């Protein structure tokens, strides 16, 4: 194992020294684990993403730490649990005073130290601040074109979502100014023409790639699409064409944008020099029913710590470097910062990181070093702390709570009416046998678990030491004296 890691580090260093790769990070919005054709959806029109899955590495066990927009995006860009950066509870609003602290080091800032041209297109949702203090140009991005928060955080009843004149579904948030489209720190349109927005983002991305090539430098593109967040929209080429309604049309346009980005790389001769990663911020907003996504066989969705809320589709594509296939290794959006930094030969920030370097896994010479994943609720507090922990193939739920975002599913545990519930002993599941973790999973007798992951920065709880030093008694409950538990036991 030590030899493999040494080989991985040497190979990553060699790649970075010879020619640092370009990075395209595509981040979808409210996309479910089961929404893509490559993840089993029978009617989604996603040929470009499915081709990425076929020609690249498809992850089956890729997670976000929180199933909500703002904290998930903070985790992606910093490699740190969002409770470290203070981006909780809930999401940032247009009038929020705070944002991603400038002391946090973003992936863009890490790569900029290696000479990367960095750009972001799409949804930011990590704060605006006075004079745009928290916007992407203040967080390491040389260029930015996008909306500073969710496109439903403003009135939309008078907006067109599908051409020529189909209005957006619903009324969105009232009592606010229309959402702005920003070019760096300037307002370009307010509100923007939604059916033309994705085409604008693709053009922005093409220009970034071409300019970086002319300047002889690598680039990092963070493409944070608004698709498939409610209210869905698309341009003429996708409107009414997916066979899956507005959600499907939105997803179809996202897929077409992915195809356009790949075509741009092909035209510039950059395919073999570019690592493309696709994933999403959280699970589907099932309360929207046909206007929401699909978690496949997984339980619940957005706003919960059940698998449907935190497990995401994820693809990695890099011809000549990544062998096509499927991996069941544990991975997270937290891991992208240390992974891309390693591949670029960039130094890591001098802070505690919760992500790990996956370059050995991507390059096919090792396994994921991640063995544990902790999950926080959308509204964490110091009393309850971590809600769930995955270690290897097992997942334990110490607390569960429903969410309005996951209403209308058949399972009442997903709904907002399902209260915060402590589980002693915790609910334990073998995800290799029971990934859905439904409440009627078979119950077997268990033996005690000797250890578990604790709150970051605190030692693990054990059966011998049920409350780790410095931890509040409710932060992470020890899995001691489990008795009988749902699922397959240790």
What are the residue numbers of the active site?
A: 69, 125
What is the CA 484 to chain-centroid distance, rounded?
34
Quick one: which H or E segment has residue 82? helix 82-85
Closest alpha carbon to 298 in 436, 403, 132, 185: 436
Cα–Cα distance list, 288 to 39, 322, 438 (Å): 21, 37, 22
Other Cβ atoms within 10 Å of 158 Cβ, number: 10
What six digits make up the tokens of 138?
């203040």
Which residues, other chains included, contact 449 with Cβ-Cβ below 8 Å and sequence gap of 6+?
396, 428, 463, 479, 480, 482, 490
Given a contact cutoff of 8 angstroms between Cβ atoms, the answer to whether 379 and 89 are in contact is yes
The size of the chain, in residues, is 490
What six digits make up the tokens of 126?
């990590």
Angle (nearest 5°) at CA 339 between 54 and 16: 95
Burial environment of residue 214 by CB neighbours within 10 A (0 to 12, 13 to 18, 19 or more): exposed
């Amino acid at each position: 194992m030590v030899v493999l890691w040494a080989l991985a580090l040497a190979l990553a260093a060699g790649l970075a020294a010879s020619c640092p790769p370009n990075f395209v990070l595509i981040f979808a919005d409210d996309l479910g684990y089961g929404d893509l054709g490559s993840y089993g959806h029978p009617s989604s029109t996603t040929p470009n993403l499915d081709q990425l899955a076929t020609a690249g590495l498809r992850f089956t066990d890729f997670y976000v730490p929180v199933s909500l927009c703002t904290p998930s995006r903070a985790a992606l860009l910093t490699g740190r649990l969002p409770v470290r950066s203070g981006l909780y509870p809930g999401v940032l609003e247009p009038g929020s005073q705070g944002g991603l602290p400038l002391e946090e080091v973003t992936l863009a800032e890490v790569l900029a130290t290696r000479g990367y041209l960095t750009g972001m297109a799409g949804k930011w949702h990590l704060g605006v601040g006075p004079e745009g203090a928290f916007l992407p140009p203040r967080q390491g991005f040389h260029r930015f074109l996008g909306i500073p928060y969710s496109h439903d955080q403003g009135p939309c009843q008078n907006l067109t979502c599908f051409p020529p004149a189909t209005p957006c579904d619903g009324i969105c948030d009232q009592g606010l100014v229309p959402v702005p489209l920003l070019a760096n720190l300037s307002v370009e349109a307010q509100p923007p023409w939604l059916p033309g927005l994705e085409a604008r983002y693709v053009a922005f991305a093409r220009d970034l790639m071409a300019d970086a090539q002319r300047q002889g430098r690598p680039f990092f593109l963070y493409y944070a699409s608004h698709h498939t967040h409610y209210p869905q929209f698309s341009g003429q080429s996708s409107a009414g064409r997916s066979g899956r309604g507005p959600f499907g049309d939105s997803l179809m346009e996202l897929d077409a944008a992915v195809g356009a980005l790949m075509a741009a790389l092909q035209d510039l001769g950059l395919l073999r020099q570019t690592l493309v990663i696709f994933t999403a911020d959280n699970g589907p907003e099932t309360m929207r029913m046909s206007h929401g996504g699909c978690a496949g066989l997984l339980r619940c969705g957005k706003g919960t710590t059940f698998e449907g809320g935190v497990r995401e589709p994820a693809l990695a594509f890099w011809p000549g470097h990544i062998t096509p296939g499927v991996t069941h290794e544990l991975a997270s959006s937290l891991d992208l910062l240390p992974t891309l930094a390693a591949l670029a030969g960039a130094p890591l920030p001098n802070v505690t990181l919760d992500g790990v370097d996956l370059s050995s896994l991507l390059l096919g010479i090792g396994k994921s070093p991640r063995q544990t994943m902790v999950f926080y609720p959308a509204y964490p507090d110091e009393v309850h702390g971590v809600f769930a922990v995955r270690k290897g193939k097992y997942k334990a739920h110490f607390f569960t709570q429903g969410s309005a975002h996951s209403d209308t599913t058949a399972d009442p545990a997903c709904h907002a009416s399902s209260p915060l519930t402590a589980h002693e002993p915790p609910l334990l599941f073998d995800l290799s046998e029971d990934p859905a973790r439904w409440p009627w999973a078979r119950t077997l007798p268990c033996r005690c678990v000797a250890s578990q992951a604790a709150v970051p920065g605190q030692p693990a709880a054990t059966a011998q030491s049920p409350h780790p030093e410095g931890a509040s008694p409710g932060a992470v409950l020890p899995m001691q004296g489990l008795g009988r538990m749902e699922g397959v036991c240790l």
